[in-house]
Amino acid sequence: MTNSSKNTTADFVFVPVKNEFIKIRYNDITTIKASGNFVDVKVNNISVMVLSNLTQFTKQLPERIFVRIHKTWSVNLCKVDKYTNDHIIIDDEIIPFGASYKKQIMEILKINSIKREG
């Protein structure tokens, strides 16, 4: 299976929900959480359950926008409201960093942060 979303300039993806495919714009996705055989995609504060695992689902999304921060969570970097050394906050939801993802996500967040003086 090829990753066609990385080969186009589209700003959306169609996801299978029940018997149809619905269009979801990348900018509308806040978080993606693994939930058994499904992923819970948070779209404009509405949960969309998609039959997929987290790895398969996020491989189809742009890496520059969506980052894995935990074994069960991927987030839209544009939607991060705050972060600490242990977690990020999106829409008042605290999402912890997984130990194996912490170094990478902190480097990405620091690149987009203003440096403190002194």
Q: The CATH number of the domain where 48 resides is what?
A: 2.40.50.1020
Total domain count, the chain: 1
Give the structural domain span for 92.
4-111
pLDDT per residue as tens digits for the range 15-50 = 998 899 999 999 999 999 999 999 999 999 899 999
In a domain, 118, yes or no: no
Choice among 1-15, 28-42, 75-89 with the minimum mean pLDDT: 1-15
The per-residue pLDDT of the chain, averaged, comes to 90
* Extended strands (E) in the chain: 12-17, 20-25, 29-35, 38-43, 46-51, 66-70, 73-76, 82-83, 87-90, 93-96
In a domain, 16, yes or no: yes
Report the predicted TM-score, pTM, of the whole model to 2 decimal places: 0.86
In a domain, 117, yes or no: no
End-to-end CA distance of the chain: 50
